[in-house]
Structure 1
Amino acid sequence: MIMRPGQQLLLPANPLFIWGSLLVALMLGMLPLGRTPWMPDILALVLVFWSVHQPLRVGIGAAFLFGVAMDVHQASLLGQHALAYTALSFFAITIHRRLLWFTVPSQALQVLPLFAAAHLIALAIRMLTGGAFPGWSLVLAPLLEAALWPVVSIVLLAPQRRAPDPDENRPL
Structure 2
Amino acid sequence: MIMRQGQQLLLPANPLFVWGSLLAAMLCDMFLNMGLTGRAAWVPDLLAVVLVFWTVHQPQRVGIGAAFVFGLLMDVHQGALLGQNALAYTVLSFFAVTIQRRLLWFPVPLQALQVLPLFIAAHVVEVSLRLLAGGAFAGFWMLLSPLLETLLWPLASIALLAPQRRAPDPDANRPL
The TM-score, its normalising length taken from structure 2, stands at 0.94
Which residue is equivalent to 2:39? 35
Contact map agreement 1:60 1:86 (CA 8 A) in 2? yes
Compute the RMSD of aligned alpha carbons.
1.1
What is the CA–CA distance in structure 1 between the aligned matches of 2:55 and 2:75, rounded to whole Å? 20
- Percent of aligned pairs with the same amino acid: 69
Which residue is equivalent to 2:127? 123
Q: Give the superposition deviation at 1:162.
A: 3.1
Select 2:98's aligned residue among 94, 97, 103.
94
What is the CA–CA distance in structure 2 between the aligned matches of 1:13 and 1:134, rounded to whole Å? 38
Which residue is equivalent to 1:26? 26
Aligned residues: 170
Which residue is equivalent to 2:112? 108
Q: Give the superposition deviation at 1:47.
A: 0.2
Q: Give the superposition deviation at 1:167.
A: 3.1
Which residue is equivalent to 1:51? 55
The TM-score, its normalising length taken from structure 1, stands at 0.96
Q: Give the superposition deviation at 1:24.
A: 0.2
1:74 aligns with 2:78: yes
Contact map agreement 1:64 1:82 (CA 8 A) in 2? yes
Kindly provide the CA deviation profile for residues 143-166 of structure 1, in whole angstroms up to 9, marking residues without a partner as x: 000001000000000000034x86
Structure 2: gaps spanning 5 or more residues:
none
Contact map agreement 1:9 1:161 (CA 8 A) in 2? yes
Q: Give the superposition deviation at 1:79.
A: 0.1
Structure 1: gaps spanning 5 or more residues:
none
Q: Give the superposition deviation at 1:44.
A: 0.4
Q: Secondary structure at the match of 2:80?
A: coil
